[in-house]
Structure 1
Amino acid sequence: MTITEDQDARSDAPATPRQRRAARIAEAAGGGWGLILLKIVVLGLILALAVYAALVLIRMDQWVPAVLVVAAALLAVWIYSGRGRLPAKYLMPGLVFLFVFQVFAALYTGYVAFTNYGTGHNSTKESAVNALMLSAQERVPDSPEYELTILDQLGELSFLVTDPDGEVLIGGEDRPLEEVDDAEMRGGKAVALDGYTTLEFADIVANQERISEMAVPLSDDPNDGALRTPDGSIAYVYTSTLVYDEAAGTMTDTRTGVVYSDIGTGAFTAEDGTELKPGWQIVVGFDNFTRAFAEESIRGPFLSVLVWTFAFALLSVLTCFALGLFLAIVFNDPRMKSKKYYRVLMILPYAFPGFLSALVWAGMMNQEFGFLNVVLFGGADIPWLTNEWLAKASIILVNLWLGFPYMFLICTGALQSIPEDVQEAARVDGASAWQVFRSIKLPLLLVAVAPLLISSFAFNFNNFSLIYMLTGGGPRDVTAGVNVGATDILITMVYKVAFVGSSADYGLASAFSIIIFILVATISVLAFRRTKALEDLN
């Protein structure tokens, strides 16, 4: 028998169980048609979402993000549609989330820190002009009536109007009126248009508030006025008492004659300093950082909060580490009985969510009906959370309750890893228990826990939930130029500046965020360099 005949004979032989099993495994690994179909559906959804997001961004004149979204989607399709490229298939999701939630967030925060973005300065100059003109609109006396039909297209409402001369026009809040020729007419009134849905009377009633607030510009010039409707069937011309001169960059109030000019501060400003709001977003350079350190109403509270933030972070780490180490030493003693039960009790505070524990403590420390005042102190009126210094002490106490179990666990593990023969040799040489702890246990312990102490410091430096849930940052400092309280740390102050109150200053809050990042990064780098000296102990 030749070699070829032998190979043909073996190929015709029935497959062994091992071969059949290997074939099934290979087929399962390949995924089969089911997995291929699932992959096609998922990649199609990714492309569809990317195209939709790109269209939305293009409508907002955000061309660069739109291109990036489409490029990322195409890259994902290329990576996952073919065989091979295994490392890229694992890296792609992580890189996308890293860019969206870390890199982009950090870059955008850095950008906002150099702008005046905030309440009254959150849009473009064009949007601000339109908002100002709309806010000062009044109906023109003897305004002609425009027959009106309300149209809907993908959730966006439009005015289909028939002017007194019979001309048919269509427009929206951001689209000036333009002439149309193919509208469906009924009794001399345009009632429908291809591509749009005509709202019936019930729909108009359901959206009455939204329709009454609409103002459709007559032309690209905001001074020409806009059409508004009180009932959804007839529209009237409204003009603004403000006149905008684009060439001169001024806004004139026709009622008072006051001229407001664009002086580069992101708002139309009169000679006496009065500003028209809303303004618009502009780049202000380092003004936000200058305000943080130069304006007395901001610098004073900021420095006070900065000092308390450092004190809070240091005291939290030291107290939690000291109590955790003490308990670890006690329960690590071989003479201690029932250690496992005590250890379970010690870690119970660590098992509950921190924000819930903070809320429970806030209730127990209530000045009027809290458990501490009513039960433990016999109805005393102790302002645990409303007095500045008592509130700070209460925060340290609650954080000690929440933080010591973590340090207890870490120190227990570190102590148990120290070789017993080293300690025994020291005792043989005549060292006391204190000398063994100070010269052997503590240095070897710090080798293991020093990085954790640094990370704990960084965590407490930004321990938002404890401060916010326990005291809300109060008691409030009414003399400060920003919304800040006696127990606020930097991160809660940033939150209040950005989101709490009637006026939000995202630019200043972003500047504070960058300052926090620089402080924490600098301290962490210096601390990690210092801990290298402990490595020689190994």
Structure 2
Amino acid sequence: MQPTIPQPIPQPIPQPGTYSADGAFAKYLKWGVIALVLLIDFYLVSVMYLQGEILFAILTLVVISSGIYVFANPKTYAWRYVYPGIMGMGIFILFPLICTIVIAFTNYSGTNQLAFERAVSVLSQQRYFSGEKYDFKLFAQADNQWQIEVTSAQGENYLSNDFRFGSETIALHLESAVSAQPAVPLKTVIANRNLLQQSRLVLPNGAELSMSSLRQFAQQSPRYQYNNENAELINLENGKRYKANNEIGFFQLIDNQGNWQAETLEPGYTVLTGWSNFIKIFSDEGIQKPFIQIFIWTILFSVLTVLFTVIIGMILACVVQWEPLRGKGVYRLLLILPYAVPAFISILIFKGLFNQSFGEINLILNQVFGIRPEWFNSPTLAKVMLVIVNTWLGYPYMMILCMGLLKAIPQDLYEASAMDGASTWQNFSKITVPLLIKPLTPLMIASFAFNFNNFVLIQLLTNGRPDMIGTSTPAGHTDLLVSYTYRIAFEGSGAQDFGLAAAIATIIFLLVGGLALLNLKATKLKLD
């Protein structure tokens, strides 16, 4: 007899519209988690919005809300695999670009970083010493406690109970005589100055005193009172009136007739200024002149770099590929070394070599020709130095490309030209160069775009110097547009003008974006 195989017990098939307990629990848990994440999302968005960070609030809302929709909806299951990549591009590429463009249309700067409400709050918190000044003495007590005694100009003495540093308010009571305890020396007061400045002494009449010097406390009062109806700040100390000027983003002094005066209050606040930053670039002579000069130099620098690196790289590639040449491997290794060494190390080495007093280049030139060029002081020589250094850094890349492309040229062409009696130069100019230029064109455009924004070379070698004279913004003869933008944003002697820097960065983006489209066209790629 064959053994009987036990049959599986049939399970009941759930009818449509019915759920098991486990399924219902999983469903409720899923929607509970979604609701919790949405609450956190709306809380973060609300906090950012109230602090004036509108762009970050929108970014947080879009990222989290779209993530919930993609991962919670069965219909968007396929999007779960590409969502992280899309959000990564949006957060790290698209969002900074949008922020830069938005800032270009504002007066955002070192003095105008706050929202209007935050600027009003900061100004309203300013105080001035408005009342009588009191001399004070500090006494050390047991268990790391202290006492403080203040004396008015009329000779009234007020003493506190024992307290520990960190107390925000310290009550004082009237004393009939000066304490006989020895006061701590001045060095102890200096050591605890920060803690004393955070403390408030409260007199019996309710007046508050704060530290005004190393030996005195004084009564403080708010300096400004804000009038919400007409957006004015009144200086309670001298009675001056300041009104919000939304064209410049400052509270500006007004006279009795309401006319604007020159005085403004800092910090200012951020306002939309429209196309003013872009207009300033082309209308303000102190900005227009250096911008045009730097723009022309940026184009010239990028073109010369590409031209020299291609010529040198192509010639060296032909040389090291020459069959009769012995030791080709050694030559290839030596010529590729500049590409293997990190660029910043090579730049710093060249900075030492071109040193005007002790550099090896000037020592050799002085011995041979009796000259010591001022590489870092002369605008022309500084630019020549940059082109030399950048050519040194870039030719190995072009040489490697040309070495690979030379392998693709049919040898039959050279054999046919040899039969016709062509010279080496004719072979190079009529066969090699035309067949290499076409595939090199997209790479040359990419190299041009890279050198257009070659910030590291400028920053490490010349830092944009020598400086231009008579400009409204910090600018140098060797600055590229990217380094010029950096100096406007972070190295200004006055307020750091992020709005103007963002406007120039937007122009750079349009130029580089145009080069990217040209590169796509050159490589015959079509955008869907």
TM-score under structure 1 length normalisation: 0.70
Which letter maps to 1:450? T
State yes or no: 1:212 paired with 2:212. no
State yes or no: 1:334 paired with 2:323. yes
- Could you tell me which of 417, 420, 429 is aligned with 2:411? 420
- The 1-side partners of 2:489 and 2:199 are apart by 30
State yes or no: 1:269 paired with 2:252. yes
Are the counterparts in 2 of residues 301 and 484 from structure 1 also a CA contact under 8 Å? Answer: yes
Assess, with a 3 A threshold, how the Cα gap between structure 1 residues 261 and 372 changes in structure 2: closer, same or farther.
same
- Could you tell me which of 348, 351, 356 is aligned with 2:345? 356
- The 1-side partners of 2:60 and 2:321 are apart by 56
State yes or no: 1:517 paired with 2:487. no
Q: State the percentage of identical aligned residues.
A: 32
- The 1-side partners of 2:326 and 2:86 are apart by 51
SS at match of 2:82: helix
- RMSD of equivalent CA atoms: 4.4
Instruction: Tell me which structure has the larger Cα radius of gyration.
Output: 2
Range that drifts further, 120-129 or 239-248: 239-248
- The 2-side partners of 1:330 and 1:428 are apart by 22
SS at match of 2:110: coil
TM-score under structure 2 length normalisation: 0.72
Structure 2, unmatched stretches of 5+, are 9-29, 135-151, 153-157, 174-189, 201-206, 254-259
- The 1-side partners of 2:337 and 2:83 are apart by 40
State yes or no: 1:122 paired with 2:122. no
Match of 1:344 in 2: 333
- The 1-side partners of 2:240 and 2:73 are apart by 67
State yes or no: 1:476 paired with 2:467. yes
State yes or no: 1:443 paired with 2:439. no
Structure 1, unmatched stretches of 5+, are 12-39, 152-156, 166-204, 216-225, 534-538
Which letter maps to 1:286? W
Cα distance, 1:452 vs structure 2? 0.4
Are the counterparts in 2 of residues 148 and 160 from structure 1 also a CA contact under 8 Å? Answer: no
Are the counterparts in 1 of residues 252 and 265 from structure 2 also a CA contact under 8 Å? Answer: yes
Cα distance, 1:478 vs structure 2? 3.0
SS at match of 1:318: helix
Are the counterparts in 1 of residues 70 and 76 from structure 2 also a CA contact under 8 Å? Answer: yes
Count of residue correspondences? 444
- The 2-side partners of 1:425 and 1:347 are apart by 32
Cα distance, 1:101 vs structure 2? 0.9
Which letter maps to 2:416? A
Cα distance, 1:319 vs structure 2? 0.7
Cα distance, 1:448 vs structure 2? 1.5
Cα distance, 1:398 vs structure 2? 0.4
- The 2-side partners of 1:83 and 1:531 are apart by 40
- The 2-side partners of 1:49 and 1:340 are apart by 65
State yes or no: 1:404 paired with 2:395. yes
Assess, with a 3 A threshold, how the Cα gap between structure 1 residues 258 and 73 changes in structure 2: closer, same or farther.
closer
Cα distance, 1:426 vs structure 2? 3.7
- The 2-side partners of 1:367 and 1:460 are apart by 26
- The 2-side partners of 1:162 and 1:302 are apart by 59
- The 2-side partners of 1:146 and 1:101 are apart by 59
- The 1-side partners of 2:523 and 2:58 are apart by 46
Which letter maps to 1:510? A
Assess, with a 3 A threshold, how the Cα gap between structure 1 residues 465 and 370 changes in structure 2: closer, same or farther.
same
- The 2-side partners of 1:495 and 1:210 are apart by 39
- Could you tell me which of 46, 53, 57 is aligned with 2:48? 57
Match of 1:506 in 2: 498
Assess, with a 3 A threshold, how the Cα gap between structure 1 residues 296 and 150 changes in structure 2: closer, same or farther.
farther
Match of 2:300 in 1: 311
Cα distance, 1:525 vs structure 2? 3.2
Are the counterparts in 1 of residues 168 and 199 from structure 2 also a CA contact under 8 Å? Answer: no
Cα distance, 1:488 vs structure 2? 0.3
Match of 1:372 in 2: 361
Are the counterparts in 1 of residues 473 and 492 from structure 2 also a CA contact under 8 Å? Answer: no
- The 1-side partners of 2:272 and 2:195 are apart by 33
State yes or no: 1:98 paired with 2:80. no
Are the counterparts in 2 of residues 212 and 228 from structure 1 also a CA contact under 8 Å? Answer: no
Assess, with a 3 A threshold, how the Cα gap between structure 1 residues 130 and 342 changes in structure 2: closer, same or farther.
same
- The 2-side partners of 1:132 and 1:290 are apart by 31
Cα distance, 1:236 vs structure 2? 7.6
Which letter maps to 1:260? Y
Are the counterparts in 1 of residues 344 and 456 from structure 2 also a CA contact under 8 Å? Answer: yes
- The 1-side partners of 2:433 and 2:423 are apart by 14
Are the counterparts in 1 of residues 48 and 54 from structure 2 also a CA contact under 8 Å? Answer: yes
Cα distance, 1:149 vs structure 2? 13
Are the counterparts in 1 of residues 302 and 452 from structure 2 also a CA contact under 8 Å? Answer: yes
- The 2-side partners of 1:81 and 1:148 are apart by 62
Cα distance, 1:128 vs structure 2? 2.0
- The 2-side partners of 1:500 and 1:54 are apart by 33
Range that drifts further, 282-291 or 445-454: 445-454
Assess, with a 3 A threshold, how the Cα gap between structure 1 residues 324 and 164 changes in structure 2: closer, same or farther.
same
